[in-house]
Amino acid sequence: MINFVTGNSVVEICLVEECKAFTASGHYDGVYRRVDGEWTFARCDFYLYHRVLLAEG
């Protein structure tokens, strides 16, 4: 039975901080493990590509 797997996910994020709109993107690399029949994160790392004010494009 397989109890560890890997996966990744690319994200684009829109957020507002102090009334300023930002855009950001990056990706997650994850290692998942099965514990008592349920999958949980064993490790999750986020890599940021960019974070910029939306007005600056």
| Domain ranges, ordered by start, for the chain | 4-56
* Residues 18-37: tens digit of each pLDDT: 999 999 999 999 999 999 99
Task: State the pLDDT at residue 50.
Answer: 96
Per DSSP, the three-state class of 12 is strand
Does pTM top 0.85 for this prediction? no
Q: What is the dihedral of CA 55, 22, 7, 46, to 10 degrees?
A: 120
Task: State the pLDDT at residue 57.
Answer: 63
> Quick one: which of 32, 31, 25 has its CA closest to 49?
25
